Structure 1
Amino acid sequence: MNIHAIEEVKDTVADSRPVLAVRLGRGRTGGTTVLDFLVQRARRRGTMIKVADGDRRNATLSDLYPVGKAGGALRPEGTEIGDVAEWVTEVVSQMADEQVSMVLDMGAGDEVLEAHAKQMNLAEFCEASGIALLAIYTLGPRPADLHHALGIYEKGYVRSERTLFVANESLVENGKGAGGAFDFIMEDPRYRAIEDDIRSIRMPKLACMEAMRDEKLSLYEAVEGERGASGRPMSLGHQFIIKTWINRMEQRLAPVEGWLP
């Protein structure tokens, strides 16, 4: 698949099953942004969705959804591999019991995934429990990010017919165009071997992300002019930039709309 294009996907008709969206790949590649967007859009549409942060090294999702607060993230009590692997079993079991959607951040979690795979085949569990499994791999413009993602994919820890690779344009160095920053993906023979089995999109850069985070505002709160931590709303320019980003994300995710929670 050409990562620059949006390709029609014919098998993404929405169904009534809850979605388990698992984010995989190296840390600091935009995984938190992707999952945060999925949570916000789902809740805005009235869909119940849980947040689970299993990233042992960079638990930024928990910063956005503080543990213990209404709608806050679930977090493992310990950081040992075995403890987190057991926690994954617990949270997906709870999700299956309640039949609600959930995002699960497993960034930098390949060791946890390996340990968990010895206990449970996640794809088979989801199938047996009436859950639609969505595997999301995030990567920046570095071959090492792709190789890490492909390594997890090839091991099959979270093998799913619904697999999405998200290339993060925000990580392209200043002064360099995003146009050809990810060409190396299409040139990689390991990627070409699986491109017919997955879908790929590019996540646009959100220039005022840091300013929005500093104001403790969600995407939609910022767009709607709500007041942030400073007591002021985002500027009209920033509101326009964020609204444009949301619209672009919706356009780029449209071909896999039926996969999303």
Structure 2
Amino acid sequence: MTRKADQLPGTDTVQINPNISAIKAGRGNLGGSTILGPLSERAIYAGRPVLLADGDVRNRGISQYSTIFDKFGFPRPTSEESGELKRWYTDAFSTAIEKKASLIIDVGGGDRTLEEWANEDNLVLAADAMGLPVTGIFMCGPQPGDIEYLLSLWESQMFKPRRGIIVLNEWAVPVGHKPDNVFAPLYTDSRLLDVDGMDVAFLRIPKLTCMRDVQLSGLSFHDAAEGVSSRRLTPC
């Protein structure tokens, strides 16, 4: 029986615990890679063992955060071929287990391969047995297609872990609209709240105007928050 989702107003209320696998899924252009960066960094600065994995061959996702990925990252796949990507996912899990680390996967453009691999190889059950239970990081915007994608994903059983965080990113709110008004219907949408077999919670990410500057500066989010400056960034 799933519990009702709780609104989590910011990243300071979310912790990525040791020995889990957090896998991002959802339609593109909803800021998933941007969100995984500070969440991963928070876990790292808290002293948790973490392995970061970027599964997008064409476009850099979480690997764009070189301050953390260069030290805690797993090598990116070299091919988009389905068999190669499946091997890459398997190797990432094996390495995380070997290092006794939590695994954070940014699938990027590899969503379809993840779904196929998760379904064919019983990813959720296998991860539980290996001691890396899966938490799905599900990106959801205000557009009907964003919600329908997640519903289709869960109903098909292609990727439906026992735990899920539905991330609402204020950057996805159309200009001129208030995030409170746009997101309010989602918090009471039974299709998102009552997902059979999966405990869910909401995580709402505020719109930070300095986010792009931090990314371009080469600073970590931690250093930017601490007021460290760079040639390209004034502390915000």
Q: Distance in 2 between matches of 1:207 and 1:54?
A: 28
TM-score by length of 1: 0.76
Equivalence for 2:140: 139
Equivalence for 1:210: 212
**Residue 80 of structure 1 aligns to which amino acid in structure 2?**
E
What are the within-5 Å matches in structure 2 for residues 1-261 of structure 1? 1=4, 5-6=7-8, 18-56=19-57, 58-65=59-66, 69-117=70-118, 119-185=120-186, 190-194=191-195, 197-230=199-232, 233-235=233-235, 238=236
**Residue 181 of structure 2 aligns to which amino acid in structure 1?**
G
- Cα deviation code 1:200-251 (max 9, x no counterpart): 2211111111111121222111122223243xx524xx2xxxxxxxxxxxxx
**Residue 219 of structure 2 aligns to which amino acid in structure 1?**
L
Describe the SS at the equivalent of 2:70: coil
Q: Distance in 1 between matches of 2:167 and 2:102?
A: 20
Q: Distance in 1 between matches of 2:169 and 2:44?
A: 23
**Residue 128 of structure 1 aligns to which amino acid in structure 2?**
A
Per-residue deviation at 1:99? 1.8
**Residue 88 of structure 2 aligns to which amino acid in structure 1?**
W
CA shift in 2, pair 1:224/1:192, >3 Å: closer
CA shift in 2, pair 1:229/1:71, >3 Å: farther
- Cα deviation code 1:59-104 (max 9, x no counterpart): 2212113898323353111122332122111111221232211210
Structure 2 residue runs of 5 or longer lacking an equivalent are none
CA shift in 2, pair 1:216/1:172, >3 Å: same
Q: Contact (CA 8 Å) 1:66, 1:73: kept in 2 or not?
A: no
Per-residue deviation at 1:192? 5.0
Q: Distance in 1 between matches of 2:164 and 2:119?
A: 22
Describe the SS at the equivalent of 1:69: helix
Q: Contact (CA 8 Å) 1:31, 1:138: kept in 2 or not?
A: yes
Q: Distance in 2 between matches of 1:14 and 1:171?
A: 24
Q: Distance in 2 between matches of 1:187 and 1:117?
A: 29
Percent identity (aligned)? 29
- Cα deviation code 1:150-193 (max 9, x no counterpart): 22222233322221101111121222111111245357563354
Q: Distance in 2 between matches of 1:68 and 1:193?
A: 35
Q: Contact (CA 8 Å) 1:25, 1:107: kept in 2 or not?
A: no
Q: What is the number of equivalent residue pairs in this alignment? A: 228
Q: Contact (CA 8 Å) 2:168, 2:205: kept in 1 or not?
A: yes
Q: Distance in 1 between matches of 2:194 and 2:178?
A: 27
Per-residue deviation at 1:119? 4.5
Structure 1 residue runs of 5 or longer lacking an equivalent are 239-261
Q: Contact (CA 8 Å) 1:53, 1:75: kept in 2 or not?
A: yes
Describe the SS at the equivalent of 1:109: helix
Q: Contact (CA 8 Å) 1:49, 1:102: kept in 2 or not?
A: yes
RMSD (CA atoms): 2.9
